Amino acid sequence: MKHPRALLLLAAPVLLLAACATPADEHEGGDAPGGPGARGPVAAQGEVIGQGTVLQIEGEDAQFCLAGVMESYPPQCGGPVVVGWEWPDDGMWESASGVTWGTYALQGTWDGVEFTLTQAPIPLALYDPMMEEPDPRSDPANAGDSSEELLLRVQEELHTWSDVTVLQSYPENGYLWASVYYDDGSIQSYLDETYGPDVVIVQSALRDLPAA
């Protein structure tokens, strides 16, 4: 589903900087909160998996596009560098005008800036994703209490962050849903402290692999 108010930022992630949390009911007209804090990039401790478009411009590193893709030909998108990427001999990618791209599920490690492959890529056409229960807060019976005005203001503030890339956000069912490259829980905790619980729902584009 496309959300009319969805905001897309396709810039690469940058380092986390210091920030001060300000409760939503006290934050009236001042500077927007700067981000989750001075702890460095949010890296994953174990392996993660993500689904998206791998795109490589001739002479440049391949990028893992985990947000929106412009439907031009060739397409345009941006994301973290994929370390160790080589185009597989699977016939599942295209090239045009010096650009090569394909949609894949990638498994690897995430240091907060770059994605390093640890397994062979799987074309999305052949990928059987892990089934997850839908978030209960998406059910109209569990609608949030936040006003549309508050959610839109918070949405605008999140997209001015200097320390974390918010890939996409949209208000729905009384919450602001926001996706980032990866969250180990610290981004969600920061937003709960800043705006109160059950205002912003953080979703990770890169998911931790379940323990064996």
pLDDT digits (tens, 9 = 90+) for 120-166: 999 999 998 877 788 999 999 999 999 999 999 999 999 988 778 89
Q: What pTM, to 2 d.p., does this model score?
A: 0.81
CATH number of 136-207: 3.30.70
d(CA 1, CA 102): 22
- Under the banding of pLDDT at 50, 70 and 90, the label for residue 41 is confident
pLDDT at residue 203, rounded to an integer: 96
Report the sign of the C-alpha dihedral through residues 151, 14, 192, 190, in that order: negative
Say if CB 51 and CB 124 are below 8 A apart.
yes
14 three-state secondary structure: coil
